[in-house]
Each structure stands twice: as C-alpha cells, then as structure tokens.
Amino acid sequence: VSARFETVTIIGVGLLGSSLGLAMKARSLAGTIRGVGHRQESLDKALAVGAVDEVAFDAREASREAALVVICTPAALVPPMLDEIRPVCAADTIVTDVASTKAAIANHARETWPAPLRVVASHPMAGSEKFGPEYGRPDFYEGTVTIVEPLTTHAPDAHAAVCALWQAVGSTLVEIPPPTHDALLARTSHIPHVVAACLSVLADRLGDVRAVAGKGFSDVTRVAAGRPELWRDICLTNDHAIAEGLGELIAGLDTVRRHISDGAGDELAQFFDAAARARARVVRE
C-alpha cells in the first residue's frame, strides 16, 4: 500500500499537524500540502518552517477533492469538522485525525459518513508540553506508537492507506477499538494529567516551594504544562471513562489516607510494594 498522496489537507497546523507536514515532505509522501488554521500567525509559521505549501482559513474549500485530509484539531472539534468537509470530499478521499480520544469521533463518522467508511480514526501517541507549528519536526513521529481503529466497516484501501501513512513517518501501529482505546487512555494518560494538574495546584498553595520541588515533582507534574483547551476537550469527549477512573482513584487515595491516619505500617508497605509491581507491569523500561 502506498503512503503517497497527491493532495493533502492538514486541518490544524499545531505541533502535530506541522510535524506531519514536515514528515511527509521529508519522505516525499505528499504532492501538495494545504494547511488550514484560524489564525494567520500560525499559518505563517507553518509556511515558514516548510510544513505546508499553501494555507487557508476555510477547511471546506481546502479539503475539496483532497486525496487525504488529516484533522489535527483538539478532540471536540473533530466531529463538527467532519460535518464541515463531508460535502466536498471526493468519493475516494481518505480522512483521518490525531485526537487523543476516539470513540466519539469514530461513532460520529459511522453515523454520518457514506459506507464503506473512508474515515479511519487514529491517535499517534506523540506530544509535548510545547505546542505550535514552530516546534514541528520531521522526525516527530519516529519511535512513537499510533493507535488505529481496527478494520470494520471501512473501505479496506482507506484503512490500509492510513496505516501505511503512520508507518511511513516512523510510527509503530497498534490496532485497538475506539471504546477500548478511550478506557485505556483514561487511565494511562487522561487521569494522570488531571492528577498532575491537581498536584501542581496543591503544591502552589503553600507559597514559594520552588527550592524544594525536585526532579520527582517535575516528572510527576510535567504533563500539567500542556494546553488547557486540549485537555478540556479530552475530558469532555472521554467523560465517562475519566469520571469512573477518577472515582476509583479517589477511593484508593482515601484508603491510603486512612492507613496513614491509623499508622497502619504493614498496610502501607504492602500498598507501596503492590504499586511498584503494578508499575513494572505497565511501564516498558
């Protein structure tokens, strides 16, 4: 399957969108790349770094007859963007996205797009506290993992092309159904982000703690430096899994708090031991 597309439209030229443009150009995967954004400044930067060849404000016009459309907006904007571009997509246009939540997007595509489906939801797990086209890098996706929904009601060629695209820019594919994706990511990414944010607020309440906040605190809270709108959208589009997991987390923290208040040393040692074992199962190191 070829990962080369004559006309590519990238909607949203932030870190992920501009990196994708740079990565496709560096590997000759695209003829012309059109970048769509709503701020002139971002579009200028995307052009300046060479992530796109043309820019536009109007996603619908820019998507007309494109071979590939990649929606690189925050999660909540993906379904309305699909509605926006659907009338102008050609019969063979392939559409994908890069949002961090997948079930709402995949469901919306299934409900609104013609069959066989040429919208293939994907989630390249690449990111940074930095954002904006100026941080884009052609090697941004190298060594990352991209989660793509498994082939179901899709046109097989569209599904294969989206898979080929991510592999061509250096990412390793994992196929996971959207609802499972959202349940897994709630606990490995979204809830840790909420927690990092709450911990930052908690430490800051004591006043100037800068002198004693070491590498551990910096590591634990790093993701909290991310973009507020992005994380708002993630919370709003994966609400059930995040709220449920937060409930379990709160119960777990409350148990530890009780052990501490009770001076229950054995229970605390067992808890920390079990947690270290759990982490060793979850994290590849």
CB atoms within 10 A of CB 180: 14
Least distance to a second copy, CB of residue 247, Å: 7
Would you call 259 exposed, middle or buried from its count of C-beta atoms within 10 A (0-12, 13-18, 19+)? middle
Q: Quick one: which H or E segment has residue 236?
A: helix 228-237
115 binds a second copy (CB under 8 A): no
Q: Which is nearer to a second copy, 9 or 19 (CB)?
A: 19
Least distance to a second copy, CB of residue 205, Å: 8
CB atoms within 10 A of CB 270: 12
Q: Which is nearer to a second copy, 56 or 145 (CB)?
A: 145
Least distance to a second copy, CB of residue 107, Å: 17
Q: Which stretch, 30-38, 47-55, 82-90, 274-282, contacts a second copy (CB under 8 A)?
A: 274-282
> Would you give the end-to-end CA distance of the chain in angstroms?
33
142 binds a second copy (CB under 8 A): no
Least distance to a second copy, CB of residue 285, Å: 7
Find the binder of a second copy among 147, 148, 161, 163 (CB under 8 A).
147
Distant-in-sequence, close-in-space partners of 70: CB < 8 Å, separation ≥ 6: 8, 9, 10, 11, 17, 20, 95, 96, 97, 98
Q: Which is nearer to a second copy, 9 or 146 (CB)?
A: 146
- Could you tell me the CA-to-CA distances from 67 to 4, 6, 84 in Å, in that order? 9, 6, 17
SS3 state at 140: coil
Residues 159 to 198: which contact a second copy by CB under 8 A?
174, 176, 181, 183-185, 187-189, 191-198
Residue 131 in tokens? 């954002």
Q: Which stretch, 26-34, 56-64, 131-139, 260-268, contacts a second copy (CB under 8 A)?
A: 260-268
Distance between CA atoms of 19 and 38, rounded to whole angstroms? Answer: 18
Residues 209 to 238: which contact a second copy by CB under 8 A?
209-214, 216-226, 228-229, 231-232, 235-236
Q: Which stretch, 1-9, 59-67, 108-116, 202-210, contacts a second copy (CB under 8 A)?
A: 202-210
268 binds a second copy (CB under 8 A): yes
Which residue is associated with the tokens 């809830």?
Answer: 191
Q: Which is nearer to a second copy, 49 or 185 (CB)?
A: 185
